[in-house]
């Protein structure tokens, strides 16, 4: 079992491997020396199918956030699964483009952006399951009113059967870390428990998930169904079990690459220059073209951009093969970007801001 300890430099929670007495922080690079205490409970609570973060040391709730945390902070993940049967081409490009957008368009401090890609030289910034989990903890640590958070993931997504009855379609959505074949996937219940539920009043989180089966990847209570004409309605996805999937008063809005039963394309047909995720490219394109005034205008622009290039996207052969490999299911339909939120709102009057 792993345990959490606070970094001696920036107070970021670090997950200590069994038996280790030192650990280096991926954020400030300080080395923390500790004596491992007893292991905490596992992520999956005994006798349930609910994921919860393990209990944290009392010092985790430090009265002030670490110095690297500004009013804006982001976790950006791009995984190409290089030299494997699941290889993608454009996900690291997506991550770099997203970082450029956040820094130059939305004034995110570079030191408050945590990048996880296969190109990172720091072993704690490689997008393994362990490192992605720790990055999610880092994102919400010390969050308070006025903070703006971004979680971006570009890579493989999948599904697995849900047996608790809290999914409308009977499946949990999952993110695939670099080492998912050995360590397993990250389930939407855990993502919700880690970065959605703790969000306090006055704080906001935007998630941008460019992956297959990503429509409800954050398990948010409401999904926006939008027709080609632009008409929309909010679909209620609150679990029949009564489990709470919202926040602690904060606001969470998610853009995702496709519906839960669809695959997302990794293509060069949109940029015409290099491979990118169709969803990430269309989102950035909408913002750069001045179509990012409201959430409705962004979603319409994304859908139009992908629809107009649909004949070139091809559904994504690698992503489709992965879907069949992991779920045993069939290949999904064309991708339609989705919008979900913890509370419904008027998508054409609410201004978009990060």
The tokens 């004596």 sit on which residue?
A: 35
Question: b/e map of 186-195 (b: 16 or more CB within 10 Å)?
Answer: bbbbbbbbbb
Annotated catalytic residue, options 156, 206, 213, 237: 156
Q: What is the pLDDT of residue 200?
A: 95
> Residue 4 has what pLDDT?
67
Residue-by-residue pLDDT tens, the chain, 354 positions: 445 677 777 767 676 666 677 887 777 778 888 754 444 334 444 444 444 444 444 433 433 434 444 599 999 999 999 998 888 988 999 999 999 999 999 999 999 999 999 999 999 999 999 999 999 999 999 999 999 999 999 999 888 877 666 666 667 889 999 999 999 999 998 999 999 999 999 999 999 999 887 768 999 999 999 888 889 999 998 887 778 889 999 999 999 877 656 566 555 544 444 567 788 989 999 999 999 899 999 999 998 888 877 544 443 333 333 333 333 433 334 678 889 999 999 999 999 999
Question: What local confidence, expressed as pLDDT, does residue 3 receive?
Answer: 57
Residue 156 annotated among the catalytic residues of the structure: yes
Query: Which residue ranges form the domains of the chain, and what is each CATH number?
Result: 1-42 (no CATH), 69-341 (3.40.50.12660)
Pseudo-torsion of CA 32, 35, 39, 40, nearest 10°? Answer: -50
Query: What's the CA gap between 168 and 151, in Å, rounded?
Result: 24
Report d(CA 273, CA 92) in Å as an integer: 15
Supply the pTM of this predicted model: 0.74
Nearest to 156 by CA among 170, 134, 173, 138: 173
Catalytic residue of the set 212, 213, 237, 258: 212
pLDDT value at position 136?
Answer: 96
């Amino acid at each position: 079992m792993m345990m959490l300890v606070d970094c001696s430099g920036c107070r970021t929670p670090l997950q200590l491997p069994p038996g280790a007495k030192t650990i280096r922080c991926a954020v400030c690079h300080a080395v923390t020396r500790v004596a491992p205490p007893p292991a905490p409970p596992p992520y999956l609570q005994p006798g349930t199918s609910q994921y919860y973060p393990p209990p944290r040391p009392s010092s985790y709730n430090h009265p002030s956030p670490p110095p690297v945390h500004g009013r804006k902070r982001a976790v950006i993940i791009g995984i190409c699964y290089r030299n494997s049967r699941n290889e993608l081409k454009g996900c690291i490009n997506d991550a770099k483009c997203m970082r450029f957008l956040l820094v130059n368009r939305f004034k995110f401090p570079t030191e408050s952006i945590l990048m996880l890609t296969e190109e990172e030289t720091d072993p704690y910034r490689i997008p393994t399951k362990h490192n992605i989990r720790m990055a999610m903890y880092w994102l919400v640590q010390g969050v308070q009113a006025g903070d703006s958070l971004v979680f971006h993931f570009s890579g493989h997504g999948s599904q697995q059967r849900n047996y608790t009855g809290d999914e409308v379609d009977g499946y949990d959505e999952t993110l695939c870390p670099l080492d998912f074949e050995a360590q397993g996937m990250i389930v939407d219940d855990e993502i919700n428990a880690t970065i959605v539920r703790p969000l306090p009043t006055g704080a906001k989180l935007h998630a941008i998930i460019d992956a297959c089966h990503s429509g409800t990847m954050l398990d948010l209570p409401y999904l926006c169904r939008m027709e080609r004409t632009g008409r929309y309605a909010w679909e209620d996805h609150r679990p029949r079990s009564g489990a709470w999937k919202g926040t602690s008063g904060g606001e969470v809005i998610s853009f995702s690459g496709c519906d839960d039963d669809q695959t997302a394309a990794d293509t060069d047909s949109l940029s015409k220059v290099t491979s990118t995720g169709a969803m990430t490219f269309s989102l950035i394109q909408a913002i750069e073209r001045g179509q990012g005034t409201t959430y409705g205008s962004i979603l319409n622009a994304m859908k139009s951009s992908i629809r107009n290039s649909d004949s070139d996207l091809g559904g994504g052969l690698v992503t489709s093969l992965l879907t069949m490999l992991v779920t045993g299911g069939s290949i999904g339909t064309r991708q339609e970007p989705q919008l979900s939120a913890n509370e419904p709102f008027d998508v054409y009057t609410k201004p978009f801001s990060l």
